[in-house]
Amino acid sequence: MPCGCGRSPTGECIGWHALSEEEYQEKLAQWKADHGKSEGSEES
């Protein structure tokens, strides 16, 4: 389902609409760290 709140980094709803701003920032930072590492290895 598409994200209606605009918080999902994937464009699909992952439930982040229910997070506080602080929780959202923590989740987003963790998501970016996790996916930033895997992006380079996926292209190889």
- For position 40, what pLDDT does the model report? 52
Q: Which residue has the higher pLDDT, 35 or 39?
A: 35
7 with 19: CB under 8 angstroms? yes
* Alpha-carbon span 25 to 1, nearest angstrom: 22
Q: How far, in whole angstroms, is CA 38 from its chain's centroid?
A: 14
* Phi, psi for residue 4 in degrees, rounded to 5: -95, -20
Task: Give the residue-averaged pLDDT of 2-9.
Answer: 92
- Residue 7's contacts (CB-CB under 8 Å, 6 or more residues apart) are 16, 17, 19, 24, 28
Give the chain's domain count: 1
Structural domain of residue 22, as residue ranges?
1-44
What is the percentage of the chain residues whose pLDDT exceeds 90? 75
